[in-house]
Amino acid sequence: MDSFEINKIIAAVLLTALIVIGIGKAADLVFHVDKPKQSAYKIDGLEVAEVTKESDGKSETVEAVDIAQLLALGNLAHGEKVFKKCSACHMIASDGKNMIGPNLWGVIGRNAASISDYKYSKAMVAYGKNWTFEEMNSYLIKPQAYIKGTKMAFAGLRKEKDRASVILYMNSKSSSPVPLP
């Protein structure tokens, strides 16, 4: 094989490499998809981690969901729809009965596990806190993670709008709705 042959082989190899790289680049150009900068979790428009509040010229950082901001994402009509998922187990009427789960009339603002003729799990009784907007939000994200041992067999509401709406809806089903923050 003379050097001319070898050169031809090298040229062929280089050319092949170039073509392969070129196709890759072209494919990138054709199929380029912009990845969203924010995760899906944040797209609902809520800062979960650190919220800086400015009041009286001072600014303080609180590690919590801004509940007013969250509730602003919801609306009653949507809440009524979302509650259909709950109504397999819960009634929410002033004369409602306990079903698989307790009647939820007036639940926002009352203490957890406070319906006397409903048999709660030990976990719910031990939890026993007031159902504030914040607590309800934390619970509904993933009930069994928030109150370990609860017998509420419900996966949770991942979407902020769903939680905000169903919380507003539940608050409206009360003889004394809690004022919104």
Between residues 51 and 159, which has the closer beta carbon with respect to ligand HEC? Answer: 159
User: Could you say which of 73, 79, 137, 150 contacts ligand HEC (CB under 6 A)?
Assistant: 150
Contact between 145 and ligand HEC by CB under 6 A: the answer reads no
Q: Which two tokens stand for residue 122?
A: 């030990």
Contact between 86 and ligand HEC by CB under 6 A: the answer reads yes
Contact between 154 and ligand HEC by CB under 6 A: the answer reads yes
Q: What's the number of CA atoms in the CB half-sphere (13 Å) around residue 147?
A: 26
Would you say the C-alpha torsion 124, 130, 136, 142 has a positive or negative sign?
negative
Measured CA to CA in angstroms, residue 75 lies from 81, 157, 159, 160, 161 at distances of 10, 15, 13, 12, 8
Between residues 51 and 91, which has the closer beta carbon with respect to ligand HEC? Answer: 91
Q: Which two tokens stand for residue 157?
A: 């509401």
Rounded Cα gap, residues 87 and 74, in angstroms: 19
Q: Which two tokens stand for residue 97?
A: 């009965």
In the complex, least distance from residue 178 CB atom to ligand HEC, rounded to whole angstroms: 13
Contact between 121 and ligand HEC by CB under 6 A: the answer reads yes
In the complex, least distance from residue 64 CB atom to ligand HEC, rounded to whole angstroms: 20
Residue environment code for 115-144, b if the CB has 16+ CB neighbours within 10 A, otherwise e: beeeebeebbeebeeebebbbbbbbbeebb
Contact between 178 and ligand HEC by CB under 6 A: the answer reads no
In the complex, least distance from residue 145 CB atom to ligand HEC, rounded to whole angstroms: 13
Rounded Cα gap, residues 181 and 175, in angstroms: 18
User: Could you say which of 115, 135, 177, 178 contacts ligand HEC (CB under 6 A)?
Assistant: 115
In the complex, least distance from residue 70 CB atom to ligand HEC, rounded to whole angstroms: 15
Interface residues toward ligand HEC, by CB under 6 A: 85-86, 88-90, 100-102, 104, 107, 112-115, 120-121, 123-124, 131, 140, 150-154, 157, 166
